[in-house]
Amino acid sequence: MLLSRRQWLKVAAVGGTWPALTGWSASGARAGTRVTVGTKRLTLRHTWTIARNSSDFKDNVFVHIERDGIYGWGEAAPNVRYDETPQQTVTALERAASILESADWLDYADLRRRWEGVTEGQSCAAAALDMAVLDWVGCKLGVPLYRLWGLDRSKAPVTSFSIGIDSPDVVRRKVREAVEFPILKIKVGRENDEEILAAVRDVTDCPLRVDANEGWRDKAVALEKILRLQDLGVELIEQPLPAGMLDETAWLRQRVDIPIIADEAVKRAEDIPRLAHAYDGVNIKLMKAGGIQEAIQMIHVTRALGMKVMLGCMIASSVAITAAAHLSPLVDYADLDGHLLIDNDPFTGVTVKAGRLLLTDRPGLGVTERAE
C-alpha cells in the first residue's frame, strides 16, 4: 500500500483531467505524514437526469492521506441539492488538513468531532476524511473494514441498478443494457412518469424500485401515481414529495401499501426520529451523513425505530462506493451503483456481479488505483 509522491501525481494524472491538485504540509506536521487533495471529473455513461437536474459529468474531490508508509483514500461527491460545490469541498478539506496532520488517526472517533468543526455545511468533505482515515486504520491493522466491524461480506444485499429519466426509447435501451441486474431503480418525477414505467415494463418484469427525488408536489397526485406503481409491482417508492412536506407524506403513507423511503428528507441520525411517522425507511448515504461512522449510527437509529434501512450513494468512483459496500451487510436494501454509471472510474474496489456486491479481503477499503 505504498505510494510515492511521484506515483500519486502519476495516478492523479490518469485521464489527464485533474483540474486542481493541491498538496500541502502544515507547519509542525508529523514526519512522514502527508495529506493531498485533487479533483477528478467523472464522466457519465449516459446523461444523468433526475427530477431536479441533468448532467454529463460530476467533479468529485479525492483526498489521499499517508503516514508510516501506509495510505488511505477518501472521496467527496459534492451535491448542489445540499449546497455543496467542488471548490467549497476542497476548501473544507484544506482546513481539515492541519487537524489531520497533527492527530493520532487511530483515535478516529474523537478525530471526527474535530474535523466536523471545519467541514460544516460540506458533509461530503467530512465523508471523504472519514473514508480516508478508516482506510488508513484498516490498512494499519491489516483488516478489511467489514471485518473490523464484525460483518459477514456474504450477507450484503443485492444492489439495484439505476435508470435515469429519459425518452422511452433510451429507457428501453438502458434497461436492456442492465439485463444482468436483478433489481432496477427507476428515476421519475418529471412529466413522463407513465411513459418511462411503460417502457421499462416493455423490456423487463424484474422487481422495480422507484425514486421521484421530490418531483411530485401534490399529495393527491402522488397518491394516484403510487397506486399505479403498486399495480406495476413496484416494491417501494423513494422521496415522492419534497422533504419539507412531512405531514403530506404521513397522509400518503396511510393510503398506500408499499414502503415510502426518505432520502432528501434525511442527512444525519438526528434527522431520523421526526420522520418515523411519515416514512417506512431511510436511504442512508455516506455523503449526506458525513462519513462511515455517522452512517453506522444512522443504521442503528433507523433499526431502533423499526424502520427499513437502504444504503444509497451519489455518482462516485469505486472509492466511495466500496466504502459504503463495507456496511451493506447491515442493511435491507442496497443501491450502490454510482461507480457503474461512470466510464472513467480511476479506481477498482467492490465489484458487482449480477447485482451481488463482492468485497475483497484486502485491508482497509481495499481500493486500488487503476493502471494507466
Nearer to Mg ion, 49 or 344 (CB): 49
Provide, rounded to whole angstroms, the least separation between the CB of residue 249 and Mg ion.
14
Nearer to Mg ion, 211 or 294 (CB): 211
Beta bridge partners of 350: none
Which residue in 130, 211, 345, 369 binds Mg ion (CB under 5 A)? 211
Query: Amino acid identity of 110?
Result: D
- SS3 of 278-345: the string is CCCEEEECHHHHCCHHHHHHHHHHHHHCCCEEEECCCCCCHHHHHHHHCCHHHCCEECCCHHHCECCC
Instruction: Compute the C-alpha angle 100/344/18, nearest 5°.
Output: 50
Nearer to Mg ion, 84 or 238 (CB): 238
335 binds Mg ion (CB under 5 A): no
263 binds Mg ion (CB under 5 A): yes
Please identify, among the stretches 5-13, 156-164, 191-199, 238-246, the one whose residues bind Mg ion according to the rule CB under 5 A.
Answer: 238-246
Task: Please list every residue from 33 through 72 that binds Mg ion, using CB under 5 A.
Answer: none
Provide, rounded to whole angstroms, the least separation between the CB of residue 206 and Mg ion.
19
Please identify, among the stretches 84-92, 204-212, 248-256, 272-280, the one whose residues bind Mg ion according to the rule CB under 5 A.
Answer: 204-212
Residue 71 half-sphere exposure, CB side, CA atoms within 13 Å? Answer: 20
Nearer to Mg ion, 34 or 288 (CB): 288
116 binds Mg ion (CB under 5 A): no
d(CA 24, CA 223): 53
d(CA 185, CA 212): 10
Please identify, among the stretches 11-19, 170-178, 230-238, 325-333, the one whose residues bind Mg ion according to the rule CB under 5 A.
Answer: 230-238
**Cβ-contact 140, 70 below 8 angstroms:** yes
Nearer to Mg ion, 211 or 345 (CB): 211
Provide, rounded to whole angstroms, the least separation between the CB of residue 165 and Mg ion.
13
Nearer to Mg ion, 193 or 238 (CB): 238
CB atoms within 10 A of CB 56: 11
Provide, rounded to whole angstroms, the least separation between the CB of residue 347 and Mg ion.
23
Query: Amino acid identity of 74?
Result: G
Provide, rounded to whole angstroms, the least separation between the CB of residue 283 and Mg ion.
6
The size of the interface with Mg ion (CB under 5 A), counted in residues, is 3
Provide, rounded to whole angstroms, the least separation between the CB of residue 3 and Mg ion.
34
Provide, rounded to whole angstroms, the least separation between the CB of residue 166 and Mg ion.
17
Nearer to Mg ion, 116 or 214 (CB): 214
d(CA 175, CA 161): 9
Nearest to 236 by CA among 261, 253, 206, 199: 261
The residue whose Cβ lies closest to Mg ion is 263
Give the list of residues 6+ apart from residue 87 with CB closer than 8 angstroms, or none: none
**Eight-state DSSP code of residue 178:** T
Provide, rounded to whole angstroms, the least separation between the CB of residue 132 and Mg ion.
25
Sheet bearing 20-24, strands edge to edge? 20-24, 34-49, 54-67, 70-76
Provide, rounded to whole angstroms, the least separation between the CB of residue 67 and Mg ion.
36
Give the list of residues 6+ apart from residue 113 with CB closer than 8 angstroms, or none: none
Q: What residues line the site for Mg ion (CB under 5 A)?
A: 211, 238, 263
